[in-house]
Amino acid sequence: MPTRRTLLAATTAAAASPALAACGEQAGAARMTRQAHRAPGERVNLVFWTWVPLQKAVALWNKLHPDIHVTVQTVPANTSGGYQKMHASLKAGDPPDLAQVEYYALPEFMLVRGLTDLTAYGADRLKKHYVDWQWQQGVFAGRTYAIPQGSGPMGFFYRADLYDNWDLEVPRTWDEFRQAARKIKKRSGGESFVTAFPPVNAQWFASFPWQRGAHWVRTEGDTWIVDLTDEKTRQVADFWDGMVRDKLVAPLQDSQSSFFKGLQTGQLAGWLGAQWQDALLRGNAPGTKGRWRVAELPQWERGEHASANWGGSATAILQGTRHPAQALKFAHWLNTDLRSIELLVAAGYGWPSAELELAGSPLDKPDPFFGGQVYNEVFRTSDRNVDTSWRFAPTTTQSYAHIQDNIGRAVAGHGTLQQALADAQGMFVDDLQAKGLDARSAR
């Protein structure tokens, strides 16, 4: 079996760097995965931890597969405590069989050998059924450790009724976006904004340097290079500094009651968000049905289609399960069966990881909430234009926390976003070095 050092040093995942070596060899899991003997006719019981409402899809699986029963247990979302709970279960030796783990967090679990090597159970034979870049998120040292579930290509959700009332064109470039912001503020009497700027959401903010072509982390050999101050990131930071300074965006935290109220009342005329937020709009702004449309992200150069990703998760089989073969069977069905995908799409789980044609799929439907628009055509274009060379470090959770804390202070009037990112860069390096990894700032 490959050592932990070998696995992490030879990482091949598109978003997880090869430079995960130079740490100790201790595992973060109290027990290792082992396939339990199964008597003829014996039912296998699996536990799946997730924060996405997947119950309907799992209920369908249980109906179709009475010999392998899956119980869904809801855990807090990612930075709200879900990952801490998973790591604690690994250390205690009582992990769930499966867990939802975002792509950015997979290197963190690999760092403590918290994932099961699925290659040993035939996972690689399933690769052809998935979008390649999503599949690669769970591949380390040529071996597969997670089954991709879905991603979050970005788009611009906007209120078509308000744009019509204000006689505005949908912005196609960032310059036009700024112009639209000024007109919205003026024509609404200061009551509406082009969008919100969440003071504390590093993943959301990161999508814009990502779209611009920046790379916050890269590797040289076994050394991590952190770069939050490159020219492209500075350009993005300057743009948003100006929007915040001129009060052209509402400083509302996304997914909070004030944010959803803003969407409902028209205080927010749009939202730069990921595809999976379609369900959040439906659920939290029901009175706006029919008024929303979706466009591509504004571009830095007219005519381009550059995009980015926010979110994206894998169905991971944690280290310590006694039913890896059955867990893998379920994970593959969950993320590729068209009946399951239709239920997952309705639950807002994200852009499917399965390799499928839009035509005839659950995504190829006019949606009344979006005024009859087949809005997923926009996200198909977005998905095809995501720069898949963006990488995540094995400290993303804690390092992004530093970034968003600093951004929050800047939005509150204490410095600029450029300064916030420059200050966070050193903290990012410190986080990596604290894990025993070689790391330095780019400049």
Per-residue pLDDT of 229-287, as tens digits, reads 999 999 999 999 999 999 999 999 999 999 999 999 999 999 999 999 999 999 999 99
Q: Is 262 part of any domain?
A: no
Question: Are residues 132 and 21 part of one domain?
Answer: yes
Structural domain count, the chain:
2
Per-residue pLDDT of 163-188, as tens digits, reads 999 999 999 999 999 999 999 999 99
Distance of CA 394 to the CA centre of its chain: 15
Question: Are residues 138 and 60 part of one domain?
Answer: yes
Return phi, psi of residue 204, to 5°.
Answer: -60, -50
Q: Is 192 part of any domain?
A: no
Per-residue pLDDT of 91-123, as tens digits, reads 999 999 999 999 999 999 999 999 999 999 999
Question: Are residues 212 and 148 part of one domain?
Answer: no
- Is-contact 379 153, C-beta < 8 A? yes
| pLDDT > 50? residue 293 | yes
Question: Are residues 402 and 346 part of one domain?
Answer: no
The domain boundary, picked from 347, 366, 385, lies at 366
| pLDDT > 70? residue 5 | no
Q: Is 169 part of any domain?
A: no
Q: Is 278 part of any domain?
A: no
Distance of CA 254 to the CA centre of its chain: 15
Residue 325: partners with Cβ closer than 8 Å, 6 or more residues away: 35, 121
Question: Are residues 109 and 12 part of one domain?
Answer: yes
- Is-contact 311 276, C-beta < 8 A? yes
Q: Is 289 part of any domain?
A: no
Question: Are residues 331 and 237 part of one domain?
Answer: no
| pLDDT > 80? residue 78 | no
Q: Is 434 part of any domain?
A: yes
Q: Is 127 part of any domain?
A: yes
Which pair of tokens denotes residue 23?
């740490």
Which structural domain range is residue 228 located in?
A: 199-246+395-443
Per-residue pLDDT of 10-54, as tens digits, reads 443 333 444 543 343 345 788 999 999 888 889 999 999 999 899
Which pair of tokens denotes residue 266?
């028209």
CA dist 148 and 125 (Å) reads 14
Question: Are residues 356 and 410 part of one domain?
Answer: no
CATH number, position 84: 3.40.190.10
The domain boundary, picked from 329, 347, 366, lies at 366
The domain boundary, picked from 349, 366, 383, lies at 366
Question: Are residues 207 and 343 part of one domain?
Answer: no
Question: Are residues 74 and 24 part of one domain?
Answer: yes
Question: Are residues 110 and 21 part of one domain?
Answer: yes
Q: Is 214 part of any domain?
A: yes
Question: Are residues 317 and 242 part of one domain?
Answer: no
Question: Are residues 228 and 333 part of one domain?
Answer: no
